[in-house]
Structure 1
Amino acid sequence: MRDIHLGILKFHAIDSRRPLSIFWIIFTVTHILGLLVAFTFEKSNIIYGSSFVIYIFVSIWGFQLLKSSFPHLIQWGATRKGYFLYTSLYLILISLFMSLLNNILLLTFDAVIKTYSLTGINFYHLAQFGTITDNFATRIFIDFSISLLLISVALLLSSILFRFGLAVSGGLVVPIIVLTFIPGVVSSMSSFTQNYLSINGPLYFSYTVIGSLLIFLICWAVMRRSFIIPSV
């Protein structure tokens, strides 16, 4: 059983190696090009919000992960409980890795900007807005929390789609989307999200991590009796 669980982690590591490598190569090259442009043209005005690129990537990756791995690993002997336990563990590690590497690179790029006094390029992070404490650890925790939430929600949507098909999935998702266009709901959401950038922001991001772990549990509940052939 231990070999099967390690096999789940190894499968995900091998399966994700190529997309992660491509992503980080493109990420690094585009940022270096931005630095070169800012170094060459003093009047350039380049702005990067690289964390948002991370969020988009993990959302897409989390959504497609189930369909590409669940049938194979179950056929190879993994239990549904074991699959979601170790897949969740892997996604936690990936969220941490993405957040850590992102902020290490941003710290490096910021050092280059300060060394050469480049004024035509800026790297922004959510921690720079509001009254939340802005430091290296806080930035990592913010990126980790948001990445974990997005990847868990993406996995949940994928699980519902895999288990119940497009009709049921649409019936659950569409009303939620409609709610986001109601002015009162939008106002409440805006007021609530401001708490994340307040001095108590780390506490709210901690709640986000806990919520993400609960979503992983819901994913297992959805898929515990699912066939290995997707409904769509």
Structure 2
Amino acid sequence: MSKQFQGALYYLFANIRFSLTVFWAILLALLIVTIAATILMPDTEIAFELSIPVYVFAAVIGYWTVNNAFPYLIKMGSTRKNIFISFGVYAFLLTLLNAVISNTVNKFVSMIIGTERDYGIITIMEDDTSMTFNHIGDLLGVNSWMMRIVIDTSISFFLLAVMFIIGLIFYQFGLIGGFSFLGALVMVIVFGFSNGWLLDFIILIYENFSFSFFFQLFTVGVFVYLCSFFLLRRITI
């Protein structure tokens, strides 16, 4: 492992350390208040889910890093290839770390309050039946701590990669280029729904939805990130 790679990786984690600490401090504080209120009122139910904030955090970091970390790394003499590799490793480790923390906390809280008092935050109604769940893994009956980590890591990494490449487009081509890209993306989505092929694709995913989907999603995230190299190699300060 080269010193340049180590230095870039260290800087990326050092750059995010404060934001990551504040993020988890706020989430855990809110969670502690909720648990305390639930304990004081024994007949109440609690709804908590840390995975969704983790997904949002990953997406924000993917966009934020382009403007707040890369210019400094380039000024320090780091090559585009080194930045690309180091950020890829950093993105995977960050999403894995957040997935481990969120699912460990969820598991611990469930042990404290009891799963019978955790009624979920999302309810799906179908005919006369309903299903309530906290985590996407509940759709598959996944209760394994490890499997939920895989799910959260794959979703977080995919969102981070997508927002990362969008951040590069805005950085490289400015507001006009960035919003033009988003406008074109919206047009493709509208065209896809109007012609039915995008809806058919979503239905196909739903009908074949299984745990393997998240490995496929992670693979797509890796592919999106690999495509970002064509933009990253032209990035300037």
Range class of TM-score, shorter chain: 0.7 to 0.9
* CA RMSD of superposed structures (Å): 2.2
List runs of 5+ in structure 1 lacking aligned partners.
none
Contact 1:63 1:158 in 2 (8 A): yes
Cα drift, residue 193 of structure 1: 4.3
Give the structure-1-normalised TM-score.
0.87
Q: Spell out, residue by residue over 1:77-109, the C-alpha distance to the aligned partner (whole angstroms, 9 max, x if none).
A: 100011011011101000100101110111100
1:139 aligns with 2:148: yes
Residue 119 (str. 1) matches residue 113 (str. 2): no
Change (3 A) 1:122 1:132: closer
Distance 1:195 1:20, change over 3 A: farther
Shift in Å, 1:203 = 1.8
Number of the residue aligned with 2:35: 35
Looking at structure 2, the residues matched to 215 and 208 of structure 1 have their Cα atoms a distance apart, in angstroms, of 10
Q: In the alignment, is the contact (CA less than 8 A) between 2:110 and 2:118 conserved in 1? A: no
Contact 2:46 2:117 in 1 (8 A): no
Deviation, structure 1 residue 185: 5.6
The 5-angstrom pairing of residues 211-222 of structure 1 reads: 211-222=220-231
Residue pair 2:142, 2:148 contacting (<8 A) in 1 also: no
Aligned partners of 1:148 and 1:212 also within 8 Å? yes
Counterpart mapping for 1:1-232 below 5 A: 2-114=2-114, 119=117, 122=120, 124-129=134-139, 131-181=140-190, 182=193, 184=196, 187-188=199-200, 190-194=202-206, 198=209, 201-228=210-237
Cα distance in 2, alignment partners of residues 38 and 204 from structure 1: 35
Q: Deviations over 1:11-67 (max 9, x none)?
A: 011111101101111111111111111111234343222211111111111111011
Please identify, of 23-32 and 85-94, the stretch whose mean Cα deviation from structure 2 is larger: 23-32
Q: CA deviation at 1:202?
A: 2.6
Q: Residue type matched to 1:56 in 2?
A: V
Pairwise CA distance, 1:5: 1.1
Deviations 1:166-187 (A, max 9, x none): 2122122123224445353663
SS in 2 for 1:48: coil
Measure the CA separation in 2 of the matches of 1:97 and 1:195: 31
Q: How many residues align?
A: 222
Contact 1:34–1:121 (CA<8 Å) still a contact in 2? no
- 1:47 is paired with a residue whose SS is coil
Amino acid at match of 2:31: H
Find the aligned partners of 1:227 and 1:75 in 2 and give their Cα distance. Answer: 10
Q: Deviations over 1:173-224 (max 9, x none)?
A: 123224445353663354244257x3xx232211111111122211111121
Residue identity matched to 1:208: L
Unaligned runs of 5+ in 2: 122-133
